[in-house]
Each structure stands twice: as structure tokens, then as C-alpha cells.
Structure 1
Amino acid sequence: MNFGQQMLFFFSAIGAFNGLLLGVYLLFFKKKKSLPDFFLGLILLTLSIRVGITVCIYFYPDWPRIIPNLGLSALFFTGPALYYYIRSSFLKEQFDVKSAVKSFGVLILILCGVGILHFIFPNVWNRYFATFIYGIWTIFIFLSIYDYYILSEKYAKSNQFILPVLVSNAIIFLSYQLLSTGWIQVYCAGGSLVFSFVLYANFLVLFNKKYQAKVAKEETKYSNKKISDLQADNFVSKLEKLMNAEELYKNPNLKLIDLALKMNMSAHQLSQLLNDNLGKSFSTYINEYRINEACEKIENGSYLKIEEIGYEVGFNSKSTFFSTFRKIKNTTPLLYKQSQTVSEPRFQSSNL
């Protein structure tokens, strides 16, 4: 194989290999195993076997003819596994295990019966075997979509992974169907690349959902755990010392998470501290420091222009500085400066 073929082989095979490992794990090694896990593992295992054999046959065409037929035999169970994965995910305890076992038993008998034909009518078997397998897969894909539509309306709360698994199987099914019919002229391993792409896309979706669920759980955990008064006083004291010592408020891009990292606490805890114990939002807390600093500069007769003082204390625009100043001090920076220049002579004359 040249370098291009080696890269195609690598990207086609890596999805099959990882899918095979995940399927074996779900089927045999997962500790807390459920029926949906079993059927999902069966889906991954059968697809991975089919994809892996497809890749090998494409790059090593001299393999015996029986090898690709073994891949098709594995694919024979993909559709039924998807169908029962959806049903078991929705029905849970109501799922009829005995019915599923009987169905798989019948399917195994059918496959064995069809396999015997290979020894009696090899030419006919080779010609129609793939059509038979894809026909069964087609039937169960449509049954799965229909069951998902019916059961999703009846059972609102269900496994959040059902739809991604169904959509992924439908995509892989369509890619193999289009390739097998010749409507799309792509090399045989194209379906394998689709499988690899879909597998890793699902990893990203599922891990993202798990991460979001974990974040939501953490937020709920902290929201139910109120900071004690003594601990809050220590946090507030530490926060004030940090703000005065490092003048963090002068950073116009300061965010809640940045300040939380400085405090060695989570952003949710810091937000809870500001809201519950100080009665202020993060932006209000920071802007008060900025406005107080601006007032000190105005009172001390700073040579800077009004808008320059705003930039100096941490505001990133003149309009934001003016509106925040008015909100906190109930006056404008210019009027505040005029009030300081008017009151200063009176103070001096009263001391004469």
C-alpha cells in the first residue's frame, strides 16, 4: 500500500477497532450492566465486525470469499439489536426479555438455515445473501424509527442517548445502502469511514451531555449548601484585602471565574457569597470599587479628563462609566466634580 492507502486504512480501521473494544466492554466487562447497555454493545460489536472485515477485504482482496460473508452475518443482528435497544431503553422494567430472547433465537435459526444454502447452492447464495441481510436491516431500521416515535410520546423521560444512537445507525445504514446499490461511486471502505466519523461524533455528544449533567449536579450541590456566617465573614475579608491589594477591578476584562480562581473557590460559590451575603451581583460589586476609585481621583483634583478617569479605574467605555456612575452616585461625574470644587472654598473660609 502507498502512503495514501495507508492513511485510508488507518482512519477506516481505527473506528472499527475502538467500536469493537467498546462493544466488548459493554457486553462482558461493564460492572453495572443493563439491558440497553447489552443491546448497545451488540450494535457496536456487530457493526465493528462488519466494518473491520470491509476494510480488510478492500485492502487485501485475496482473502477467501467466506470472510466478507461473515461480516454480513454479523450485520444481520445490527437491526434487531437497535430495535430492542430502543424498546428496552423506553420500557425498562416493562420490557419483555423472553420475547427478545425468542426473537434472537429465531433469527439465529434463520441465519443458520441460510448459511446451509452456501454448501448446496453457493452461486445463488453468494448472489442473494447480501440482499437478504440488507433487507432484514432495512425492516428493523424502520421498525426502530416507528417505535421511537410511538414510545417517545408515551414515555417522556427516557435514556438521553437513544436518539443519537438511532440517528447514527440510520446514517450508517444509508451510507451502506447507497454504496451497495452503486448510486454513489465511492470505494467500499467509504462506509467504514462513515462509521468511524459517526462513532467519534457520538463520543463528543455523549461526553458533552455527561459534562453538562455533572456541572448541573455540582451547581445543585452548591446551591443547597449555604455558606455559614463565620465562613462568609472570612471570605468577605479575604476578598476585600485581595481587591485593595491587587486592584483587580482595574482590569476591564475581569470575570467572575478570574476572581474565583484568585479566591481558591468555585465561580458558583463566589456568586453565592456576593448575592447571599453582600446582596450584590458580581458586576455591581466590581463597579462600586471602580466608582469609589474614580471619586477619590476627582476629589484629589486629578489632572485626567473625566472619561480618562473612567478608563483608568477599569471601565472599557465612556458611556458605561457615565451610566454606572449615575446609577451608584445618583449624579454624573461632571456634576460630582463641580460639587467638589464648589464645596472646597466654603470649607477653607470656615477655617479662617
Structure 2
Amino acid sequence: MPASYLLFFFAGLGTFNGVALSVYLLWRQPVRPAQCWLAALVLMLSLRTGKSVLFYFWPDITKLVLQVGLTACFFIGVCLIGFVRAWLDPDGRQTRRDPAIALGLLVLSIGLGVAYPYTEHVRLWAGPVWFSIQAVWLACILASTGLFLRAPRPTPSTRAANTLTRAHLATVIAGVAVIWLAYATAGLTSYIVGALSFSLVLYLSIAVLLARRTAPPVAEPYRDRRIAPADAEAALRALDALMVSEGAYKDPQLTLARLARRLNMPQARLSQLLNDNLKTAFKPYLARIRVEAAKQLLREQAGASMDDVAEASGFLSASSFHRTFNKLEGTTPAAWRKAQFRVEAVS
């Protein structure tokens, strides 16, 4: 009996955490297309393994749960292909129609489920449908592996536009393959092995990710090697998009290391990019962007308090806002705002 409880706990906890992870991936900013596909993939895996857990411990469960689980199983392969394609095309130039295709497949699968429900067509779902889903899932794994192996090495621009590395991509494909193998060999092992495999893959992936984040950064020899002009231009565009368009400067805890991670760029290389191409260090660069954002707010929001302007511009406190603003502009924010309104009134 204790073994059954432990089995249920580990299998069910993996399913629950998978759903939580998919929500986190959609909540974590910035949300990239590959990130959305990964969230959908994890959700489909969670639904599939959740169905396995329920059926293993309660065999008499309603057939509707089994139908939902098998439908989700079909979309595991679809989401895997979408994830790999989105990673290879972070700008979305060749994958704009992929979400629409997936939505069309979802509508079609729901329609087929309504027309041929599991409750009335048990042999159809337990036989041809299940084997077809397994085949499609395997085909998607093989196709994703082929796309991954043929993919060119990412350039600085594509690395900056994608927060997921080749290691992440390989880990996802391998994890999905392990889960497929667990279900494909369930007749020789146990039906619950698929759910346990998902839990194991999920926890190992999280552990590796946390270990990589806490590991000390490896110094890279960029000091004596300038960044190529084309690469520097692409990296600067990505930096500008992240800082200005997406408002990364608003994060009061933003550091060089955190910004480098979001750009998927070594910290030393980002520092070199700022020094060689913008002739500044990270802190002065960040201060200038925040002050320019504050100046825009001071012009556009006449009734905004200095505390609100400081917070909206990414400063930790009003005092640091006043100190930085005065250092760069030679005057206080309040005096600068009055001068702007005075000029507008005269003109």
C-alpha cells in the first residue's frame, strides 16, 4: 500500500508541476513563439500523463478522460514540431502559419471526437486511433531530430532573439523521445511507466537548468578580439529591442549578467559590445536609458509624481532617480519639467 501511494504521488506530482510549468512559460516575459510552443508541449504531456495516472489507479474512470488524454497525445508531436520550427525561425518569417495549422488540427480532432466518441467506439480508439497516434508521435520525433541536426549554428542575432539554446532544444527532443518509448513499451513494463518517465524528465530538466544558472560564469577571452561589425550590429539591434521596445530597463534589479542571459549572450561579450561599440559601460548605459525614459514621462504626464516617474523608469528609489538625473542632465527632474513647460508656453 505505501508503494502505491508513492507511485501515485510521484506520477501525479509530475503532471501537476507540468501544468504549473506551462503556465509559468506563458507568464515569463518576454514570451517568444518557441516559448509558447514549449508551454503547449508541456501541457499536452501533462494531460497525457494525467490521464495515465487516473486510468492506472481508477480503471473504471469515464471514457471522456481517456479521449481527452489520447487527443492530447496526438498534439505532443504537433507541438514538438512547432517548437523546433519556432526555435529555428525566431523572427517568425516562415512559421507564421504554424499556429493556424495547429488550431485547425485541434478543431478537426475535436470534431472527430464528437462524431466518434470513445464511449461508443471503444475498439476504434483503443486500436487504430491509438496506434496512429503513436506513429504520428514517433514521426514527429524523427522529423524534429532531423531538423535539429540540419540546423545551422545560431548567429548572434538569432541567439539574441531566442532565449532557448541548442542544449534546451536537444533536451526537449530527447525527453519527448524517452516518454514515447516508455508508452510504446508499456505492454512489457507497466502503463504507469510513461507518467513516471515524464516526471523524471521534468525534474531532471529543471535540476539541470537550475545547476546551469547557479554555476559560476566561465570567463571567455573576448578582451583582445573585437566583435565583427555585422555581428555587433545585429546584437545591438537585439539589445535595443529588448531594452527599449520590451522595456527591460524597467526592471529595477536588472544587472549585466541578467541582461546577458536574456540576450543569450556571454556576459563578457555583452560588456565588450557596450565598450567597443557604444563607448560606455553597463551602468552608465542603463542610467542613460532610464533617464531618457523618465524625461519622456515628465513631458507626457504632467500630473505624475516623481515617485511614480522613478518607479516607471526602473529606478530603485526616488533618491537614486534624482541623483542620476541631476548627474546626467545637470538639473533636478522637477526643474527640468518646469523648463520644458516654459519652453512650450513661449513657443
Superimposed CA distance per residue, residues 189-234 of structure 1 (whole angstroms, 9 cap, x where no aligned partner): 111111111111111211222233756576849x99xxxxxxxxxx
Which position in structure 2 is the counterpart of 1:39? 37
Match of 1:211 among 214, 221, 224: 214
TM-score, with length taken from structure 1: 0.56
* CA-CA distance at 1:187 after TM superposition: 2.1
Deviations 1:93-144 (A, max 9, x none): 1443432023213312431343144259614422322122222212211111
C-alpha RMSD over aligned residues: 2.7
Q: Following TM superposition, by how much is the alpha carbon of 1:3 offset from its aligned partner in structure 2, in angstroms?
A: 1.4
Paired residue type of 1:72: L
Change (3 A) 1:75 1:95: farther
Confirm or deny: 8 A CA contact 1:15 1:195 kept in the other structure: yes
**Letter matched to residue 21 of structure 1:** A
Deviations 1:256-299 (A, max 9, x none): xxxxxxxxxxxxxxxxxxxxxxxxxxxxxxxxxxxxxxxxxxxx
CA contact (8 A) 1:88 1:95 kept: no
Aligned partners of 1:91, 1:98: CA distance in 2, in Å? 10
Distance change in 2, residues 1:4/1:99 (3 Å): same
Consecutive unaligned residues of structure 1, counting only runs of 5 or more, are 225-352
2:99 aligned partner: 101
Does the 8 Å CA contact 2:85/2:95 hold for their aligned counterparts?
A: no
Question: Identity over the aligned pairs, expressed in percent?
Answer: 26
**C-alpha contact 2:67 2:113 (8 A) present in aligned 1:** no
| Pick aligned residue for 2:69 from 71, 74, 99 | 71
Q: Could you say what secondary structure the match of 2:31 adopts?
A: coil
Q: What is the DSSP-based 3-state SS (H/G/I as helix, E as strand, rest coil) of the residue aligned with 1:76?
A: helix
Name 2:194's counterpart in structure 1. Answer: 191
Structure 2 residues without counterparts, runs of 5 or longer = 220-255, 258-266, 273-347
Aligned length: 217
- Cα displacement (A) at 1:74: 1.2
Kindly name which structure, 1 or 2, has the bigger radius of gyration based on alpha carbons.
Answer: 1
What's the counterpart of residue 21 of structure 2? 22
Which position in structure 2 is the counterpart of 1:89? 87
User: What TM-score do the two structures reach when normalised by structure 2?
Assistant: 0.57
Of Structure 1 and Structure 2, which has the larger fraction of its residues in helix? Answer: 1
* Residue in structure 2 matched with residue 228 of structure 1 by the alignment: none
Residues 152/189 of structure 1: CA separation in 2 closer, same or farther (3 Å cut): farther
- Is the contact between residue 43 and residue 81 of structure 1 (CA under 8 Å) also seen in structure 2? yes
Distance 2:218 2:145 in 1: 32
State whether residues 25 and 39 of structure 2, in contact with CA within 8 Å, keep that contact through their aligned partners in structure 1: yes
